[in-house]
Amino acid sequence: MSSSTIYARCLPGGPWQRPLPGIVLLHNTEPTADELLTAALLYSGAKTVVTGVSACRLHGLRPTALPQGDDLHLLIPHERKIRSTGFVTMERTLRLPEPRQIREIPTAPLIRATTDAVRRLRKTEPVEEVLIEAVQRGGCAPQDLLRELNLGTQRGTAIPRRLLSGWIDLRSMAESRAHVLSHRLPSPPSHWNCKLFDQRGRYLGRPDAWWDDIGLAWEIDSFDFHFRRADYSRTVNRNTRYAASGILVVQTLPSRLRDDPAGVCAELIAAHDAASARPRPAVRIADVA
């Protein structure tokens, strides 16, 4: 087909369209996300790897935890020179990752995709949401994400490096917020992540925070961070063990640590007063953190 015919068919109102240079879409309706991705891969050529937010979606991270938009971030070998255009950002790299084929799409490993995504964000909250999702949903270890940031370009890494550095020794991202919030309390927790046992030596749980002098536990639990039904069942069983042993527990949604810190503090102070007014339960701690 002649170039003049293709040109005429791709004019406004014509039956075809050009989503990218050299790429023709054989209809004139709004392209689907899959069509845009296919167009981007055709434009970029062989040895292209999808990374960033699009790759995170392909790995199964929740769209609600990721930045919105149709921009595609593609990695290509450093020796190739293909310019970014339209909705496609081309990044030449000396560290082209071995792709994983997801729906026949060459996709960067989740750790690389996550770090490439957060490097392009400029505010703490969206960076935090992406990292939390990668850790909690994707199973990425904070230290592995930090290592990947250290290996690549340092541009755009200040915020994620600061967050990840504070998360290395914590069991959850929500707990990092809880640590910060605890400094506002008149009586902060005495222990974090210590194991609790009753007088018979039976394991009771491992609260996120613990006031040992009064037997008060603080747990940060939510479906935001525990996706499987089995996780919820374990939470219910743990709280039942707490109640049977006389432990007073405050349970906080992770979102409230960010959205209502004053309310969380008020609840903890009230719980502390209530726990102080009754005899301490006969429990002991081990493996103090």
What are the start-end ranges of the E strands in the chain? 17-20, 23-25, 49-51, 72-77, 88-93, 100-102, 105-107, 191-192, 195-198, 203-205, 209-211, 216-220, 248-252, 283-286
Return the residue matching tokens 């432990």.
247
Contacts of 183 (CB under 8 A, 6+ apart): none
Separation of alpha carbons 231 and 234, rounded Å: 5
Which one has a higher pLDDT value, 192 or 169? Answer: 192
Task: Provide mean pLDDT across the span 131-146.
Answer: 88
Query: In which band, very low, low, confident or very high, does the pLDDT at 257 lie, cut at 50, 70 and 90?
Result: confident
The string over 193-212, giving b where at least 16 C-beta atoms fall within 10 Å of a residue's C-beta and e elsewhere, is bbbbebeeeeebbbbbbbbb
Q: pLDDT (tens digit, 9 = 90+) per residue, 91-117?
A: 999 999 999 999 999 999 999 999 999
Task: Provide mean pLDDT across the span 30-42.
Answer: 94
Q: pLDDT (tens digit, 9 = 90+) per residue, 187-246?
A: 999 999 899 999 899 999 999 999 999 999 999 875 544 444 556 677 788 889 999 999
Task: Provide mean pLDDT across the span 249-260.
Answer: 86
- Torsion angle defined by CA atoms of residues 23, 63, 119 and 182, in that order, rounded to the nearest 10 degrees: 180
Task: Provide mean pLDDT across the span 37-61.
Answer: 95
pLDDT for residue 132: 85
Q: Which of 56-70, 134-148, 222-236 has the lowest mean pLDDT?
A: 222-236
Average pLDDT of the chain to the nearest whole number: 89
Q: Do residues 182 and 269 touch, judged by C-beta distance below 8 A?
A: no
Separation of alpha carbons 41 and 38, rounded Å: 5
Nearest to 117 by CA among 152, 162, 167: 152
Does residue 65 carry a pLDDT above 60? yes
pLDDT for residue 227: 42
Query: In which band, very low, low, confident or very high, does the pLDDT at 163 lie, cut at 50, 70 and 90?
Result: confident
Query: In which band, very low, low, confident or very high, does the pLDDT at 289 lie, cut at 50, 70 and 90?
Result: very low
User: What does the block give as tokens for 3?
Assistant: 């170039």
pLDDT for residue 230: 56
Query: In which band, very low, low, confident or very high, does the pLDDT at 173 lie, cut at 50, 70 and 90?
Result: low
pLDDT for residue 172: 59
pTM value? 0.65
Task: Provide mean pLDDT across the span 146-155.
Answer: 91
What are the residues facing 108 on neighbouring strands?
none
pLDDT for residue 201: 92
